[in-house]
């Protein structure tokens, strides 16, 4: 049974893939922080680098709730819900701290939308699912630790 994956080769391919994805944005979907972005945030391999690339600094807030399982049943499909009671919340950025591509999604909330979103993410290694919420001119953040382990039942 083949278990080894050759990380070196696959990492190079991964970065290319992320760059291809990150470069093409439809003009109607400009996100805050794009103007400040100097490097491709989707190429960031650490939360710090992603925040730098997005030009964001955020303060912790208890008005954001990241709901995700303590122990993911399947690391490739982790249901996550992010809600916030921050007034004028307009954008939610999601990162998964130990993923090879840390930045997983950005959501821009329309005027009538509830301040929340549900999605399913891949969590590569045990780490944090982190939400950054833009409200007014500032960014706020909260996170949830998610553990992933190797299961015993393949097939």
Partner 1 sequence: MAKFKTRLKVKMKDGKVNVKAIMSHPMETGRRKDKKTGETIPAHFIKDVVVTANDKPVLTAEWSIGVSKNPYLSVNYAGKSGDKVKISWKDNKGNTGEAEKTVK
Partner 2 sequence: MKITMTASIAALAISLSSFTAVQASPAEDVKAFQGYFKSKFKDTKFDDYVNGIYSIDPASRKQWEEIEEFPPYELAMDDGEAMWNKAFANGKSYKDCFAGKLEDIRSTYPRYDEKADTIRTIEGDINKCRTDNGEKPLKWKKGKIAALSAYIAYQGRGKEIAIKMPSTEKELAWYNKGKTFFYAKRGQLNMACADCHVYNSGNSIRADKLSPALGHPSHFPVYRSKWGGMGTLHRRYAGCNKNIRAKPFKAQSDEYKALEYFQVVMSSGLKWNGPGARK
Q: Could you list the residues that contact partner 1 (CB under 8 A)?
A: 2, 5-6, 9-11, 13-14, 16-18, 20-22, 24-26, 29, 31, 42, 76-79, 96, 99-101, 103-114, 116-122
Report what 70 binds from partner 1, partner 2, none; CB cut-off 5-8 Å by kind. Answer: partner 2
Q: Counting contacts by CB under 8 A, is residue 76 touching partner 2?
A: yes
- Binding marks (x or -) toward partner 2, 132..151, rule CB under 8 A? -----------------xxx
Let me know: does 127 contact 110? Beta carbons within 8 Å: no
Instruction: Closer to partner 2 by CB, 36 or 71: give it.
Output: 71
Report what 112 binds from partner 1, partner 2, none; CB cut-off 5-8 Å by kind. Answer: partner 1
CA distances to 4, 44, 72, 149, 151 from 155, in Å: 17, 34, 19, 17, 11
Report what 105 binds from partner 1, partner 2, none; CB cut-off 5-8 Å by kind. Answer: partner 1
Let me know: does 63 contact 85? Beta carbons within 8 Å: yes
Q: Residues touching partner 2: how many (CB under 8 A)? A: 19
Report what 101 binds from partner 1, partner 2, none; CB cut-off 5-8 Å by kind. Answer: partner 1
Contacts with 53 (C-beta within 8 Å, 6 or more apart), sequence order: 37, 38, 39, 40, 41, 43, 44
Class of residue 65 by CB neighbours under 10 A (exposed 0-12, middle 13-18, buried 19+): middle
Let me know: does 77 contact 104? Beta carbons within 8 Å: no
Instruction: Closer to partner 1 by CB, 61 or 115: give it.
Output: 115
Class of residue 52 by CB neighbours under 10 A (exposed 0-12, middle 13-18, buried 19+): middle
Residues that bind partner 2 (CB under 8 A): 69-74, 76-79, 118, 120, 149-155
């Amino acid at each position: 049974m083949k278990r080894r994956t050759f990380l070196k080769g696959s990492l190079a391919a991964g970065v290319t893939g992320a760059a291809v994805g990150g470069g093409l944005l439809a003009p109607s979907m400009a996100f805050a922080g794009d103007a400040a972005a100097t490097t491709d945030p989707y190429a960031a391999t650490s939360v710090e680098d992603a925040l730098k690339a997005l030009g964001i600094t955020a303060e912790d807030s208890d008005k954001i709730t990241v709901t995700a399982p303590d122990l993911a049943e399947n690391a490739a499909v982790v249901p996550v819900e992010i809600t916030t009671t921050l007034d004028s919340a307009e954008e939610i950025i999601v990162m998964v701290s130990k993923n090879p591509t840390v930045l997983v999604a950005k959501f821009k909330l329309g005027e009538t939308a509830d301040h929340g979103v549900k999605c399913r993410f891949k969590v590569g290694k045990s780490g944090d699912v982190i939400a950054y919420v833009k409200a007014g001119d500032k960014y706020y953040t909260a996170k949830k630790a998610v553990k992933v382990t190797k299961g015993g039942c393949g097939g």
